[in-house]
Structure 1
Amino acid sequence: MFLNNDTIDRAWLILMIATVASAAITQGVGGKLAVAATVLGIALIKGRLVALDFMELRHAPFKYRMIFEGWLIVTCLALLAGYAAGLKAIA
């Protein structure tokens, strides 16, 4: 295993802060694309952190890292596009 306790603790702390930030951003705000984009951006960072540090993808071949990171970006963009289309349909 490549991870040491400092790396795991730092990643865990960042994940907790990002989770609280996502929850705080959405309080009292409804139907705003900028908020959705911010929360999805935080989710992208969290997903990347979990994959690179906890799943040890950081030490995988570059090709596999790029496949995962590309998939993560495409998925977040697709979710954001779906949310934006839903907002447009409501308005």
Structure 2
Amino acid sequence: MSARMHGTPRGSTILFATLILATVATWGMGSLGVTGTWGVAILAAISFWKGAVVILDFMALRHAPLLWRAITMGWIIVVWALIAIAYIKGLAQ
């Protein structure tokens, strides 16, 4: 396994620790009752970043062919677009 393709164990550990901290941060925001458009936007941005890290680094697609990256990142974009549409429609009611 090349370090260029899959990263280093140290880099993966740092990313994993950062993912854990991001999870704890979003849990803390939920526990504290952070609401409103900005709170939801921050939570969405953190979760989108977490998904991108998992896709690109832990699934080792960062250096994969463009088609694979486009499919996986496109999937996460579609999911978040649908969540955003549902949230905005919910605000309108």
Match 2:37 to one of 24, 27, 33: 33
Name the counterpart of 2:12.
Answer: 8
> Runs of 5+ in structure 1 lacking a partner?
none
Contact 1:37 / 1:80 at 8 angstroms: preserved in 2? Answer: no
Post-superposition, which runs of at least 4 consecutive aligned residues in structure 1 deviate over 3 A? none
Distance in 1 of aligned mates of 2:81 and 2:42 = 12
| Contact 1:48/1:69 (8 A) holds in 2 | yes
Q: CA deviation at 1:78?
A: 1.3
Answering whether residue 68 of structure 2 is matched by residue 74 of structure 1, we say: no
C-alpha separation in 1, matches of 2:33 and 2:79 = 26
Give the secondary-structure state (helix, strand or coil) at the position aligned to 1:28: coil
Instruction: Give, in whole Å, the separation in 2 of the partners of 1:81 and 1:10.
Output: 33
Contact 2:52 2:73 in 1 (8 A): yes
Q: Determine the C-alpha separation between the residues in 2 that align with 1:36 and 1:77.
A: 13
* RMSD (Å), alpha carbons: 1.6
Q: Distance in 2 between matches of 1:25 and 1:75?
A: 22
Q: Alignment partner for residue 53 of structure 2, among 49, 54, 57?
A: 49
- Matches of 1:19 and 1:38, distance apart in 2: 12
| 1:18 is the counterpart of 2:25 | no
TM-score by length of 1: 0.81
